[in-house]
Chain A
Amino acid sequence: MFEPFTDVIPSFFGWLNQGPLTLTIFLHTVIILPMIWIYFQEKKRIENEG
């Protein structure tokens, strides 16, 4: 699962890039997750309006 770092120069993104798709799954998650919060906020607003 965790493979040795192979990039030339160490960096934060290189460090996250540790194995199959770890970096890209992390980035997708941090982009999508806050939408859950937006969802519940809007749900509350719609209920209040109703």
Chain B
Amino acid sequence: MANRSVWSDNRFWQRSAAWVTGFAAILLIWLTFDTSMQISMGSDEDLKNGVTKRVPGPTVINYKITYEMDAKRGHEVPVIGEKELFFGRDDWSEEEAGALLHLGKLGSQAKNCMNCHTLLGNGAYYAPDLTKAWLDPAWGPEGSLQAMTGKPTKEEAMAEFLQHPSQYPTHERMMPNLGITAEEAKGLVAFLKHMSSIDTNGFPRNFGKIKGAVHGK
């Protein structure tokens, strides 16, 4: 039987399958350890010392966040700048900010945000992406959404909208009233601000940079 080929031999393929599967799984576990360390949340110390973390600590809500082109990395990255008031304060302690973020993250799941919106690009496609919603010019000082709610700051405008979404129809397709309380809305806005500070490798591209491209807007 000199002519029997290894290529049509079940045992060869069985052993190859076992090897490939096992080794790919080991690599994935190794990569998971490496990535887990890199995406663990930073601390207040890191923020004070200017240490860049892919996912900053919750006290990032005390700072101004912008989305800037990084020449070295070839895409935009969130940049944490000077102090900025968030609901009238810029001295949220690690515990307070952490509790607010916890409330907001729980709220984002309890209200099922992800089955209309996308978060970090994942979810449903019925409503705008929330990854960098905090940085959307529409919610800024000259933005139409902030003006619509009549509130003086971005965070208050967002919180007001979240509590009474169907009072502020922005489009034929409206956000339903989900029974979000004032405290929950505050938490959700903190969650959104924190999410905008996550280094998403440049996604979404050109966010909030383009004005007047369509219909001369």
Secondary structure call for the A interface: helix
Cα distance, A35 to B17, chains bound together (Å)? 10
Q: Tell me if B27 is interfacial: C-beta within 8 Å of chain A.
A: yes
Cα distance, A31 to B12, chains bound together (Å)? 15
Cα distance, A6 to B31, chains bound together (Å)? 18
Known: A6-B73, A42-B9. A50 touches B20 (CB 8 A): no
Could you give, for residues 11-49 of chain A, a 1 whenever the CB lies within 8 Å of some chain B CB and a 0 otherwise? 111000000000000010011001100110011011101
Contact call A8/B1, Cβ cutoff below 8 A: no
Q: Which residue of B lies closest to A30 (CB)?
A: B23
A and B contact pairs by CB, cutoff 8 A, 22 listed: A8-B52, A8-B53, A8-B54, A9-B38, A12-B34, A13-B34, A27-B27, A30-B23, A31-B20, A31-B24, A31-B27, A34-B19, A35-B16, A38-B16, A39-B6, A39-B12, A42-B11, A46-B4, A46-B6, A46-B9, A49-B1, A50-B2
